[in-house]
Amino acid sequence: MTRLRVLAVASEMNPLVKTGGLADVVGALPAALAAQNVETRTLIPGYPEVLAALRVGETVLSFDDLFGGPAWVHAGRLGDVDVYALVAPHLYAREGGPYADTDGVDYPDNALRFAALGWAGAQMAQGALSEFIPDVLHAHDWQAALAPVYLHYSDRPRPATVLTVHNIAFQGQYPKELLEDLLLPPEAFAVDGVEYYGAIGFLKGGLQLCDRITTVSPTYAQEIETSEFGMGLEGLLRARAEVVTGILNGVDESVWNPAKDPRIEARYDHFSLATRARNKTALQKRMRLRADAEAFLLGVVSRMSWQKGHDMLLANLPALMARQAQLALIGTGEKDLEEGFRAAQDAYPGRVSVTIGYSEDLAHLIQAGADAFLVPSRFEPCGLTQLYALRYGAVPVVSRVGGLKDTIIDANEMALQAGVATGLQFSPPTAEALAIALAQAERLFRDTDTWRKLQINGMKTDVSWRHPAERYAELYREAVAARAG
Ligand code: ADP
Ligand code: GLC
């Protein structure tokens, strides 16, 4: 296997900056790919928290004027992983999050902020850094999707390009008047370029012009070719179907491993499952839930949005509470959902505990302490929390869509008999179907041996990055070969 060099371009990377699963994936892939003889270096925006946390080395590239101001690329290290931070104070030195200000309002210049990321990535992919000339540029999501577009319209030699869709609901659409400001040539504004319903589509352009498209599960790869899930891009994806691949995400086992996790109360594995109970007790205490080893404790760690379907959980709370169940939830997002859960906490003190906010520590403790873990998404490209739940012995209850469908084996009668089930799936994603699944989960929970079998099956499932990394490495090599040929 010859050594391959990959420049990854993304807007998040765990543990430097994270709003969701994208960061987990971008953070974990380099180490997993190293085992496949693929050297990955990752370009991310130099947000304040990135520059504060990264051990920054030398400046390897500078721009006099990158979309409105000077910018530099700093080479930094994160453990064994090389990270390039794009330092552009006029674009990234802000108080809010990566995409929105402290009030949650998107920055008005996001088009320029992420065009800059794509532009810098494209320059680096074309030899701007003599020390690292990549064979592949791998862009993640719309924020990086202009990188393959710039490469397409450049007449200099370029590497193969791969674009991964983590969530097709976010596309990066901007007025056509920005075309010149974004340094896109006039011919780019066409159906076979970035033009999308009369506007400029970052993701659309990237999907149109990259060499290979991947998404984060085989089922989602099929779903996005349909009008129900494709969010308008299904036609393009159908037309390019032969270059679309679904590769499941894995779990970063250096971060999510119940046998070594410093964030939980008591460490355990599938041989020492009994120890896990101490985490349930600790979780109940920390979240002010009633101390009760017998209560069916349901965990949720999630963004609060229509996608994730927690309105269906709210609808099911009265029935759950009537059965003396408990809920431990941490999430942030849409205000009406946050309000709904706050009200539920007031209505059921000691049995519903809601933390509105973001905490890695609590996310880990919920995985380690909850009996079941709920992911009732309306669509889910892959989903990572159900994989963490498998690792941690919190039995996942999930809707049968996207990556949830691909990663959980439903405890139907056949699977139970065969001894292979790992969780529960429900379909369609409605409150009624969820009600049935929750009642069934609780019945299985009361059947201690069956439940333990579900937990152990989950904990023994290989959710590592090893297989996915092999698939990415293979895909990179194919893309490079196709370009050379
Ligand atoms: P998505 O990326 O769509 O939000 P994923 O399941 O792929 O969904 O990834 C979500 C990631 O974000 C997981 O690592 C999860 O633990 C984390 N996460 C989500 N919400 C919170 C929160 N409120 N506090 C801590 N971690 C969270
Ligand atoms: C997106 C998706 C989620 C996926 C994550 C990482 O945020 O919503 O399903 O797991 O990206 O690929």
Entry pTM = 0.97
Q: Are the CB atoms for 95 and 101 separated by under 8 Å?
A: yes
Residues 337 and 443 in one domain: yes
What is the average per-residue pLDDT within 317-332?
Answer: 97
3-state secondary structure of 246: strand
Residues 243 and 294 in one domain: no
| Atom 24 of ligand 1, residue of closest alpha carbon | 358
User: Count of CB atoms within 10 A of residue 417's CB?
Assistant: 9
Residue of 205, 211, 203 whose CA lies nearest to 188:
205
pLDDT tens for residues 242-282?
A: 999 999 999 999 999 999 999 999 999 999 999 999 999 99
What is the average per-residue pLDDT within 154-182?
Answer: 98
Is 191 within a domain?
yes
CA distances from 192 to 111, 198, 204, 206 (A): 20, 13, 9, 11
Is 388 within a domain?
yes
For residue 164, report the distance from its CA to the centre of ligand 2, in Å.
11
Tell me the two tokens of residue 83: 């990270």
Domains: count for the chain: 2
Half-sphere exposure of 398 (CA within 13 A, CB side): 27
Model pLDDT, residue 485: 81
Alpha-carbon gap, residue 70 to 33, rounded angstroms: 33
Considering the chain, what is the average pLDDT of its residues?
97
For residue 385, report the distance from its CA to the centre of ligand 1, in Å.
7
Model pLDDT, residue 327: 98
3-state secondary structure of 164: strand
The residue segments making up the domain with residue 162 are 4-250+466-484
Q: How far is Cα of residue 416 from the mean position of the Cα atoms in its chain?
A: 30
pLDDT tens for residues 374-400?
A: 999 999 999 999 999 999 999 999 999
Residues 133 and 56 in one domain: yes
Query: Which of the ligands is closest to the CA of residue 215?
Result: 2
For residue 279, report the distance from its CA to the centre of ligand 2, in Å.
27
Residues 207 and 296 in one domain: no
Is 133 within a domain?
yes
3-state secondary structure of 382: coil
Is 266 within a domain?
no
Please check the confidence at residue 1 and state whether its pLDDT lies above 80: no
Is 261 within a domain?
no
Please check the confidence at residue 2 and state whether its pLDDT lies above 90: no
Model pLDDT, residue 369: 98
CB of 249 sitting under 6 A from ligand 2: yes
Half-sphere exposure of 36 (CA within 13 A, CB side): 23
Q: Give the pLDDT band of residue 81 (cuts 50, 70, 90).
A: very high
CB of 399 sitting under 6 A from ligand 2: no
Residues 32 and 119 in one domain: yes
Residues 180 and 289 in one domain: no
pLDDT tens for residues 208-250?
A: 999 999 999 999 999 999 999 999 999 999 999 999 999 999 9
Alpha-carbon gap, residue 265 to 299, rounded angstroms: 16
Residues 127 and 215 in one domain: yes
Please check the confidence at residue 55 and state whether its pLDDT lies above 80: no
Query: Which of the ligands is closest to the CA of residue 246?
Result: 2
Model pLDDT, residue 249: 98
Residues 283 and 161 in one domain: no
Residues 473 and 432 in one domain: no
Is 260 within a domain?
no
Residues 226 and 351 in one domain: no
Please enumerate in sequence order all residues whose Cβ is within 8 A of that of 137, keeping only pairs 6 or more positions apart, or say none. Answer: 6, 7, 9, 121, 122, 125, 147, 148, 151, 158, 159, 160, 161, 162
Is 188 within a domain?
yes
pLDDT tens for residues 416-448?
A: 999 999 999 999 999 999 999 999 999 999 999
Model pLDDT, residue 56: 72
Residues 123 and 179 in one domain: yes
Residues 475 and 436 in one domain: no
Alpha-carbon gap, residue 18 to 27, rounded angstroms: 10
Is 216 within a domain?
yes
Please check the confidence at residue 351 and state whether its pLDDT lies above 90: yes
Tell me the two tokens of residue 247: 């590769």
Please enumerate in sequence order all residues whose Cβ is within 8 A of that of 155, keeping only pairs 6 or more positions apart, or say none. Answer: none
Q: How do 71-78 and 81-87 pair as beta strands? A: antiparallel
CA distances from 404 to 63, 253, 401 (A): 43, 19, 6
* CATH number for the domain that contains residue 454: 3.40.50.2000
Alpha-carbon gap, residue 8 to 80, rounded angstroms: 15
Beta strands per DSSP E along 247-389: 297-304, 326-333, 352-356, 372-375
Region of residue 116 (phi > 0: left; psi between -120 and 50: alpha; otherwise: beta)? alpha
User: Count of CB atoms within 10 A of residue 212's CB?
Assistant: 22
**Best residue among 302, 337, 388 to mutate for probing ligand 1, ranked by most atoms within 8 Å of CB:** 302
Closest atom of ligand 2 to CA, residue 380: 9
CA distances from 286 to 149, 347, 348, 432 (A): 49, 19, 17, 31
